Amino acid sequence: MNIIKDYSPPENLLRDRVILVTGSGQGLGRAAAIAYARHGATVILHGRKVEKLEKVYDEIEALDKAQPVIYPLDLEKATDEDCSGLAAAIAEQLGRLDGILHNAAFLDGPCPLELQTMNQWQTLLKINLIAPFSITRACLPLLKSAPDASIIMTASTQGHNPTAYWGGFSVAKAGVEALVRIQADEWGKLPNLRINALIPGIVNTPQRAKTHPGEVKKTLPQPEDLMPNYLFLMGPDSKEIKGEIIACQTIH
Ligand SMILES: NC(=O)c1ccc[n+]([C@@H]2O[C@H](COP(=O)([O-])OP(=O)(O)OC[C@H]3O[C@@H](n4cnc5c(N)ncnc54)[C@H](OP(=O)(O)O)[C@@H]3O)[C@@H](O)[C@H]2O)c1
């Protein structure tokens, strides 16, 4: 499924909503956190490195919108208890949660399966699949009591159409698509809770620079170019869309 590229969200699209954005210190997560804040949301800035989150915090503060909150947590080391702690802190400090953008991701350089180790796979699966699952589960009571909650998982072309050398990362991202379908099916017709996946496609971010160092960056789509998709899926205009895997750009 592809969604409308020329979606023009109203300025107050996310007013009064509280949205958690994982991996919001750089790349697509940073752009989404700023876009959500610009459209009225109180954003919880999650990531690993506090300095990066503080920079995004300052950028949002300069917009003169709702004050964001910083919540660092290393998803590689996170336990179910840590995820419950995150949910408890949101409940205590903000009192509600209307959406999660699961965006944080980790990717090693591509290499053949025969060179990949169990430890590497554990890290890839933990950060890209297992931790998001646990965060969603921990936040479920808050999400269920929100009037219109949207969860966006970030999938990938490499999970949708796996090819050589992407190994554990592809498997984790393929798992993200399965997770979205299972979760949407379990939630059935719950009117106020939806989960979907976005496949960004090629975007100029630090992750892309790591995997494709020779590319001319300025010719690539920028994170901000994709924000209509991220806003549409987080806001009320997509309320009827559930369990979909949505490509922001044509999948090659
Ligand atoms: N860029 C593309 O072309 C592209 C294409 C398809 C899909 N995607 C997907 O889009 C999403 C964003 O990609 P991106 O390119 O913007 O990625 P990115 O620049 O590498 O940023 C990833 C973010 O994830 C966070 N993160 C990584 N490991 C973490 C950990 N252990 N604990 C907590 N946070 C962690 C990083 O935080 P720190 O910096 O603090 O470590 C960073 O903010 C990912 O899910 C990616 O797979 C991207």
pLDDT digits (tens, 9 = 90+) for 135-170: 999 999 999 999 999 999 999 999 999 999 999 999
Average pLDDT value for the chain: 95
Q: Delimit the domains of the chain by residue range.
A: 18-247
Q: What is the pLDDT of residue 6?
A: 78
Tell me the per-residue pLDDT of 72-116, one tens digit each, with 9 for 90 and over.
999 999 999 999 999 999 999 999 999 999 999 999 889 999 999
Protein residue whose Cα sits closest to atom 17 of ligand 1: 207
Q: How far apart are CA 126 and CA 134, in angstroms?
A: 10
CA of 130 to the centre of ligand 1 (A): 15
Q: Is 72 in the pocket of ligand 1 (CB under 6 A)?
A: no
SS3 171: helix
Which residue(s) pair with 154 in the sheet? Answer: 198
Q: Which CATH architecture has domain 18-247?
A: 3-Layer(aba) Sandwich (3.40)
Q: Is 227 in the pocket of ligand 1 (CB under 6 A)?
A: no
Q: Is 206 in the pocket of ligand 1 (CB under 6 A)?
A: yes
Of 160, 156, 142, 54, residue with least CA distance to 106: 156
Task: Spell 216-239 as b/e; 16+ CB within 10 A means b.
Answer: eeeebbebebbbbbbbbbbbeebe
Predicted TM-score (pTM) of the model is 0.97
**Mutation pick for ligand 1 pocket among 20, 26, 56 (CB with most ligand atoms within 8 Å):** 26
Q: What is the pLDDT of residue 252?
A: 64
Q: What is the pLDDT of residue 3?
A: 63
Q: Is 81 in the pocket of ligand 1 (CB under 6 A)?
A: no
For a pLDDT cut of 70, what percent of the chain falls above it? 98
179 band by pLDDT with thresholds 50, 70 and 90: very high
- Compute the radius of gyration of the chain from its Cα atoms: 17
Of 251, 137, 248, residue with least CA distance to 195: 137
183 band by pLDDT with thresholds 50, 70 and 90: very high
Tokens 């996946």 appear where? 197
Helix (H) or strand (E) segment spanning residue 193? strand 193-199
Q: What is the DSSP string of 21-67?
A: ETTTTSHHHHHHHHHHHHTT-EEEEEES-HHHHHHHHHHHHTTTSS-
Q: How many residues does the chain have?
A: 252
